[in-house]
């Protein structure tokens, strides 16, 4: 991937054409859940104390798909929603954001999933999910858009789709199709403990597909959980317990502090840290998804990115800026930044 110097001296990443042959060959297909988040109208209160709620589109894989499209990349979403007002609204939101929604399916018997989410005054996020079962859990293998998956340069997913059948088997089948087609497999842990039967079930489920991923994004808290309390800042913990022989790139998100990266590709073996981009936070929802969208949008156009540390660091700074900009606005999808917005904030900090 070439870096293109601009007149102001800032280097831009050359991936972002919308449409055209380059974008089509750089398709990122995101698999999993899309739902409605209900967010309190007042910040810093518990769900019980909230006087009212605003509805917002959510679901990490869908957020990532929109994030990529906003940056000028090419993305698609595969998942299931209810054949209801909320489900149709979500499909329309993807279309409005230029995300290919042809892989979406609509369940006539189950509802679109709902989640009530708040950031309490102590800084802890609180979730209450309504999935009993919700449509996203009921995607069957026979409903997969196989041709769409085969077109993916990158196939991206999380762990929520591993919790219940039939979606779990569908997830595994989709991964197998993508792998056989030569796609890069990208995994964002996205731990949501309240959805799992137990902590052990969550740990086992998340790790059950660990060794198949080419790229993994994990947070500090998730490292502590997966390693049963080990220090998430210890490189030896990360490399010995979480790195696997087939992994090309492991990313550890550190919120406002930026991210760490670890690679182990034969001769290209390096690790390091890229600082965050300073902003005044309003709402942290979707920041991690914007970060993932940022790095995948670059990787889709330069699949050897992890072999060049200078390029990788530049791409991760770009991804950090994507995450930072998202926290300056409320909601996830509405806050996903454009390429121009990212370049402006990077120019400010250069």
| Annotated catalytic residue, options 289, 302, 304, 308 | 289
Our measurement of the distance from residue 39's CA atom to the centroid of its chain's CA atoms, rounded to an integer in Å, reads 20
What's the gap between Cα 337 and its chain centre? 14
Q: CB atoms < 10 A from the CB of 63, how many? A: 28
Sign of torsion, CA 220 225 228 229? positive
Per the CB < 8 A criterion, the answer to whether 59 and 33 are in contact is: yes
Instruction: Give dist(CA 176, CA 126) in Å, integer.
Output: 34
Candidates 184, 167, 202, 191; CA nearest to 79 is 167
Query: What's the token pair of residue 251?
Result: 């990313």
Looking at the chain, the number of H-run helices and the number of E-run strands are: 11, 15
* Other beta carbons within 10 Å of 51: 8
**Euclidean distance between CA atoms 65 and 99, whole angstroms:** 7
Q: What is the residue whose two structure tokens read 């979707």?
A: 286
CB 57 within 8 A of CB 105: no
For residue 37, give both structure tokens.
């988040």
- Which helix (H) or strand (E) segment holds residue 211: the answer is none
Which letter does DSSP use for residue 153 in this model? S
302 annotated active-site: no
From the CA atom positions of the chain, what is the Rg in Å?
19
Q: C-alpha distances in angstroms, 276 versus 137, 158, 229, 320?
A: 35, 23, 25, 6
- Residue with token string 């996830």: 332
Instruction: Please tell me the distance from the alpha carbon of residue 350 to that of residue 343, in angstroms, as a whole number.
Output: 10
Q: Which residues are catalytic?
A: 289
């Amino acid at each position: 991937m070439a870096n293109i110097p601009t007149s102001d001296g800032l280097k831009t990443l050359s991936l972002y054409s919308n449409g055209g042959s380059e974008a089509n060959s750089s398709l990122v297909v995101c698999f999993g859940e899309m739902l409605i988040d209900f967010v309190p109208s007042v910040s810093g209160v518990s769900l019980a104390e909230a006087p009212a709620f605003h509805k917002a589109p959510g679901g990490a894989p869908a957020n990532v798909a929109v994030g990529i499209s906003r940056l000028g990349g090419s993305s698609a979403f595969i998942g299931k929603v209810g054949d209801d007002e909320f489900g149709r609204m979500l499909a329309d939101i993807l279309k409005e954001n230029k995300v290919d929604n042809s892989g979406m399916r609509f369940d006539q018997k189950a509802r679109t999933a709902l989640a009530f989410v708040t950031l309490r005054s102590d800084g802890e996020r609180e979730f209450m999910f309504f999935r009993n079962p919700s449509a996203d859990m009921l995607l069957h293998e026979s409903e997969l858009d196989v041709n769409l998956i085969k077109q993916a340069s990158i196939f991206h997913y999380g762990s929520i789709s591993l919790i219940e059948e039939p979606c779990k088997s569908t997830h595994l089948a989709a991964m197998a199709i993508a792998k056989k087609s030569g796609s890069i497999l990208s995994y964002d842990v996205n731990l949501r403990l309240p959805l799992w039967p137990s902590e052990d079930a969550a740990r086992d489920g998340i790790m059950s597909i660990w060794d198949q991923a080419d790229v993994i994004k994990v947070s500090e808290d998730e490292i502590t959980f997966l390693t049963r309390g080990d220090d998430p800042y210890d490189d030896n913990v990360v490399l010995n317990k979480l790195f696997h022989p087939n992994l090309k790139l492991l990313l550890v998100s550190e919120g406002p502090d930026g991210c760490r990266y670890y690679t182990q590709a034969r001769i290209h073996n390096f690790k390091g840290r890229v600082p965050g981009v300073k902003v005044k936070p309003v709402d942290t929802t979707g920041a991690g998804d914007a970060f993932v969208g940022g790095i995948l949008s670059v990787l889709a156009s330069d699949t050897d990115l992890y072999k060049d540390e200078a390029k990788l660091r530049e791409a991760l700074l770009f991804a950090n800026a994507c995450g930072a900009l998202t926290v300056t606005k409320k909601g996830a999808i509405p806050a996903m930044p454009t390429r121009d917005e990212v370049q402006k904030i990077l120019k400010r900090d250069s």
